């Protein structure tokens, strides 16, 4: 989830499956009416049993109105057997890695299109190192979450390697997920119990 | 993804679909051999077109060996039409909200089981506020990611409301995703271009 406000001299034509003219029209609309840029994304979750739950992603608000996704996206989450679950879905922490790769990749496609670069391949691998002594409550010196995340991209297109690297770098610089994961965000939890 | 190292006096029996004896055996195994707690989670991503990509979650390492998930989990990600995508999957930032709810919920089930609390319902909603002037490159004063995330839980079980609230609080205190989202994590990106 990342775009660019670059203003290339070149003609803006659809590229990489990106509707580049529409992308720039959207950027200009938000420039003119900043309140259109305010979005709220949402997820709901329903516990099933053990560490298994089902999440749904259905609606969001933004650009001044409410929106429904084209379909209701449903995702199971669970722990694997080695962590006393039944492996009916990825672990919650794995969804963070997926979100990071997807955000950087969407940004790469948009930015490449804005810069007139035709992409032929974007592949990535994400690894997150975590010491479970944190969440298991064994050591107070070990954090609960990942200690380090590494992303490796393989990118090909009709531009020199240096230009392709700049596209990845600009995507990083404007990635919502990269920002949240590296800088953190305030999270408030409320409970209705009874 | 959260457990507790509480040592209740009560007998440890399976509860809430949690194999509580196995959970404590796992905690004790990692206590005895800390290197068993070192895990690496992974995701791969393959760009399709525009902001649409497919992520896969297949393998991880931990407890001293390599593991494959019971199946290969595949997830599309995309932007909705209002953000110049085709809505073939949730946005990357929505996966963060799903991961947060799933992590806190898995922890709630484990901790309740460890404390002898039988749960009958755990539902949650997560909302994330984001001002897209950040990622659209319109304002350098607006961050790229969420400004604030709110989680609201509804929890029921055979314990008084105060005890149910304590279970949620302990899950928060030991949640891997809550830690990453609130405190951030170093992310390194490497690029193979050409």
pLDDT tens for each residue of B131-185: 999 999 999 999 999 999 999 999 999 999 999 999 999 999 999 999 999 999 9
For residue B191, give the nearest of A6, A168, A183 by CB distance.
A168
Do residues B177 and B100 touch, judged by C-beta distance below 8 A?
A: yes
DSSP summary character for residue A34: G
pLDDT tens digits for range A113-157: 999 999 999 999 999 999 999 999 999 999 999 999 999 999 999
Enter the tokens of residue A180. 């949240």
Do A180 and B40 make contact, defined as CB atoms within 8 angstroms? no
pLDDT band at A12 (very low <50, low <70, confident <90, very high): confident
With a cut of 0.85, is the ipTM above it? yes
Tell me the pairing of strands B65-77 and B52-62: antiparallel
Mean pLDDT of chain A: 95
* Position B3 pLDDT exceeds 60: no
Q: Which of A5, A21, A166, A176 to mutate to test the interface with B (most CBs of B within 10 A)?
A: A176
Enter the tokens of residue B31. 């206590």
Rounded distance, CA B24 to CA B110, Å? 10
Do A102 and B45 make contact, defined as CB atoms within 8 angstroms? yes
CA dist list (Å): B115 to A40, A191, B18, B21, B172: 36, 18, 12, 12, 16
Global confidence as pTM: 0.95
Query: How deeply is B163 buried, as exposed, middle or buried, from its count of CB atoms within 10 A (0-12, 13-18, 19+)?
Result: middle
Nearest-CA distance B102 → chain A (Å) = 6
Rounded distance, CA A159 to CA B147, Å? 35
pLDDT score of B163? 98
Rounded distance, CA B43 to CA A127, Å? 7
Do A187 and B100 make contact, defined as CB atoms within 8 angstroms? yes
Do B164 and A194 make contact, defined as CB atoms within 8 angstroms? yes
**Three-state SS at B80:** coil
Chain centroid to CA A165: 19
Rounded distance, CA A152 to CA A104, Å? 11
pLDDT score of A6? 56
Do B191 and A153 make contact, defined as CB atoms within 8 angstroms? yes
Do B155 and A193 make contact, defined as CB atoms within 8 angstroms? yes
Nearest-CA distance B10 → chain A (Å) = 19
Do B49 and A17 make contact, defined as CB atoms within 8 angstroms? yes
Query: Nearest-CA residue of chain B relative to A65?
Result: B82
**Three-state SS at B130:** strand
Query: Nearest-CA residue of chain B relative to A93?
Result: B177
């Amino acid at each position: 989830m990342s775009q660019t406000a670059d203003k290339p001299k070149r003609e803006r034509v659809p590229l990489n499956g990106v509707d580049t003219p529409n992308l720039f029209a959207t950027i200009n609309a938000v420039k003119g009416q900043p309140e259109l840029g305010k979005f709220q994304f949402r997820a709901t979750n329903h516990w099933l049993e053990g560490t298994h739950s089902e999440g749904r992603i259905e609606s969001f608000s933004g650009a001044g109105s409410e929106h429904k996704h084209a379909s209701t996206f449903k995702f199971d989450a669970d722990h694997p057997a080695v962590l006393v679950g039944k492996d009916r879905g990825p672990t919650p922490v794995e969804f963070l890695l997926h979100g990071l790769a997807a955000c950087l990749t969407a940004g790469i496609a948009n930015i490449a299109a804005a810069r007139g670069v035709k992409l032929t391949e974007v592949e990535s691998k994400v690894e997150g190192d975590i010491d479970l002594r944190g969440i298991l409550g064994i050591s107070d010196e070990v954090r609960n979450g990942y200690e380090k995340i590494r992303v490796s991209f393989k990118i090909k297109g009709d531009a020199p390697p240096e230009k392709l690297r700049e596209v990845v770098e600009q995507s990083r610089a404007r990635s919502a997920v990269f920002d949240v994961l590296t800088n953190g965000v305030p999270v408030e939890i409320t409970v209705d119990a009874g």
